[in-house]
């Protein structure tokens, strides 16, 4: 059995740790109230911005899909009839794949010029261009500090599974790690990673704009680019966000959602929000669709990044408050057990001394 002095020292140590965990719980709880209010106010704005952008882009995609169906039908009829064109007649732009405009109804709009089968060749805005995912960028949001339960581990494991799955499928994956915990996690696994420092120190609209420019740079590249440190950056076809979505102080959900390009997945989510029924809505734009998208697409990117940062911060504080509450309770239980051991040891020592005294007294009597 350990000595009374060592047990006393351990009890004092656990009590000091309990004070620290209780203080961290109170600080996290105070900060959580502000973070929860902040994400609650921003979430509605972010969701509405996303819905507006998806509605505007969905109309353009429906326009193209309708034009593609008409052109396929027209090309089938033309191949059956094969009527020769009269000299001097105007060419049929709906069947002329080299004209770059396709059907007359699809010559403009959200996705610009289209081919004979309605595919976008010159998107009006680069954030709307959908292409096969050959090189993917994963933006992983973790914290700079620990002591927050499984908050960082859950995000890092999901990002790692995405990285390995896509690599096995032949895709090239680059990880942008926000937070030191994510940086250390992927550095130990020798993942292709770029560390973005300073994101958590500036949780504002301007900070989200700076972060958006950094993340958007490889997406807008047209070819490989060498940085100042000699590393080569490849252009990416899609950007995904991996972060913790705040549900409550005791519940956070890890999500991996596509940030760019704004594609068909977003339209399906927006259309399915009202019971799976999509309504075809026509819009009148003033001054133009291009001017609207020049403002709306960058706004969507910045709002989405700021929302992910707010969600992750609130989730971190909630996870830390829960973890510190559990640590404080465990410290109290440990103090109780150590106190019981200490009392038993002290009682045993006292009993031993009494027995020695009584034994000595009986020996003197005899």
Reported as a pLDDT band with limits 50, 70 and 90, residue 107 is very low
Confidence of residue 271 (pLDDT cuts 50, 70, 90): very low
pLDDT per residue as tens digits for the range 50-90: 888 887 776 655 555 555 455 545 555 544 444 444 444 44
Give 251's Cβ-side CA count (13 Å radius): 2
More confident residue, 139 or 72: 139
Average of per-residue pLDDT across 16-35: 94
Q: What is the mean pLDDT of residues 188-205?
A: 89
Average pLDDT across the chain, whole number: 78
3-state secondary structure of 194: strand
CA distance 142 to 327: 21
What average pLDDT does range 122-132 have in this prediction?
69
Q: What is the pLDDT of residue 167?
A: 93
Dist CA 114 CA 123 (whole Å): 9
- pLDDT value of position 275: 44
pLDDT of residue 365: 81
| pLDDT > 90 fraction of the chain, expressed in percent and rounded | 40
Query: Which H or E run contains 141?
Result: strand 135-141
Task: Sort 248 into a burial class: Cβ within 10 Å, 0-12 / 13-18 / 19+.
Answer: exposed
> Does position 267 have pLDDT exceeding 70, yes or no?
no
Q: How far apart are CA 334 and CA 13, in angstroms?
A: 11
Please write the tens of the pLDDT for every residue from 284-309: 777 777 778 878 888 888 999 999 99
Tell me the CATH number for domain 128-270+281-322: 3.40.1380.10
Percentage of the chain beyond pLDDT 70 is: 73
Per-residue pLDDT tens digits for 199-251: 898 888 888 999 988 888 888 877 777 666 566 677 888 999 999 999 988 88
Q: Please determine, for residue 44, whether its predicted confidence score (pLDDT) is greater than 80.
A: yes
Residue 183 has pLDDT above 90, yes or no: yes
Distance CA 110, CA 99 (A): 19
**pTM for this predicted structure:** 0.74
Q: Indicate if the alpha-carbon torsion angle 299, 303, 304, 309 is positive or negative.
A: positive
Name which residue leads in pLDDT, 101 or 32: 32
């Amino acid at each position: 059995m350990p000595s009374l002095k060592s047990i006393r020292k351990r009890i004092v140590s656990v009590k000091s740790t309990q004070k620290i965990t209780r203080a961290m719980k109170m600080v996290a709880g105070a900060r959580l109230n502000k973070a929860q209010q902040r994400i609650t106010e921003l979430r509605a704005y972010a969701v509405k911005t996303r819905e507006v952008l998806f509605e505007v882009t969905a109309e353009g995609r429906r326009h193209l899909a309708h034009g593609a169906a008409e052109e396929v039908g027209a090309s089938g009829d033309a191949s059956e009839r094969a009527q020769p064109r009269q000299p001097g007649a105007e060419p049929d732009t709906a069947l002329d794949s080299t004209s770059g405009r396709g059907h007359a109804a699809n010559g403009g709009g959200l996705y610009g010029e289209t081919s004979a089968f309605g595919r976008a060749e010159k998107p009006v805005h680069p954030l709307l261009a959908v292409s096969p995912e050959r090189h993917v960028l994963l933006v992983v949001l973790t914290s700079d500090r620990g002591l927050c339960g499984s908050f960082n581990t859950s995000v890092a494991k999901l990002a790692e599974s995405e990285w390995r799955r896509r690599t096995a499928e032949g895709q090239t994956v680059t990880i942008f790690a926000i937070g030191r915990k994510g940086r250390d996690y992927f550095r130990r696994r020798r993942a292709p990673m770029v560390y973005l420092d300073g994101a958590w120190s500036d949780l504002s609209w301007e900070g989200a704009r700076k972060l958006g420019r950094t993340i958007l740079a490889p997406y807008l590249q047209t070819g490989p680019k060498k940085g100042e440190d000699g590393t080569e950056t490849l252009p990416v076809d899609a950007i995904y966000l991996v972060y913790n979505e705040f549900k409550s102080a005791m519940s956070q959900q890890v999500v991996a959602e596509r940030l760019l390009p704004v594609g068909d997945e977003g339209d399906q989510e927006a259309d399915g929000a009202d019971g799976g029924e999509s309504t075809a809505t026509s819009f009148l734009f003033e001054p133009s669709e291009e001017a609207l998208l020049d403002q709306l697409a960058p706004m969507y990117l910045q709002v989405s990044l700021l929302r992910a940062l707010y969600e992750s911060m609130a989730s971190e504080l909630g996870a830390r408050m829960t973890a510190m509450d559990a640590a404080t309770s465990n410290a109290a239980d440990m103090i109780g057990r150590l106190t019981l051991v200490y009392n038993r040891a002290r009682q045993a020592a006292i009993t031993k001394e009494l027995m020695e005294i009584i034994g000595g007294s009986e020996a003197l009597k005899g």
